[in-house]
Chain A
Amino acid sequence: SQTIHQWPATLVQPVGSPLSLECTVEGTSNPNLYWYRQAAGRGLQLLFYSVGIGQISSEVPQNLSASRPQDRQFILSSKKLLLSDSGFYLCAWSGWVRQETQYFGPGTRLLVL
């Protein structure tokens, strides 16, 4: 069966510091991968998605970037965090057979101070 991992689970970072969040998927090949952000009490904002290694589509211009160095690894980065970057970051995957059905990882709770 497929499993999706995210780490770290929680992170407290000062403004202006860099960020690296990692997501990995097990049990499937060539998944579509997604990064979402959820502000406290709010909805799901799609940040990036990837249909293959090195293929990244950005949905919202911001100080974040994403990379997919391996088939089942998706990384979210920032060079300098802003206070507004605080939130719950969720990675999701969908299979190449049922591309429309997305399954979410456990999330990373980021607090920027």
Chain B
Amino acid sequence: GENVEQHPSTLSVQEGDSAVIKCTYSDSASNYFPWYKQELGKRPQLIIDIRSNVGEKKDQRIAVTLNKTAKHFSLHITETQPEDSAVYFCAASNPNFGNEKLTFGTGTRLTIIP
């Protein structure tokens, strides 16, 4: 089955600087990669996703890049703000073969230092 590794487990960044979280996956057939943000005590919320037919996707201060050859994808947050502090989870799946499951990484706790 799929295995997703996520690094780092914790990350502290000065407000205004950029943050990068990296994930690697094992199944080369995986073709869908979402990122979720979970604030303390709240549900995980989808913030951005990417499919394997594109290499990069941006949404304001958030971007995701995908390297299919190396089987890794990354979340980039620019101009970080205090409200970006949360736990971020990456995930991977291949829904084309009836696999409705997401395999999640172990999470990265991002702290923005004012």
Type the 1/0 row for A33-57, where 1 means its CB is closer than 8 Å to any CB of B. Answer: 0100000001110100101000000
Q: Which of A77-113 contact B (CB under 8 A)?
A: 90, 94, 99-107
Number of interface residues of B (CB under 8 A): 19
Q: In terms of DSSP, what is the predominant structure of the interface of chain A?
A: loop
Q: Which of B68-114 contact A (CB under 8 A)?
A: 89, 93, 95, 100-102, 104-107
A-side residues, CB < 8 A to B, are 32, 34, 42-44, 46, 49, 51, 59, 90, 94, 99-107
Q: Which residues of B contact A101 (CB under 8 A)?
A: 32, 34, 46, 49
Known: A43-B89, A44-B89. A103 touches B46 (CB 8 A): yes
B-side residues, CB < 8 A to A, are 32, 34, 36, 42-46, 49, 89, 93, 95, 100-102, 104-107
Contact A99 B43 (CB under 8 A): no
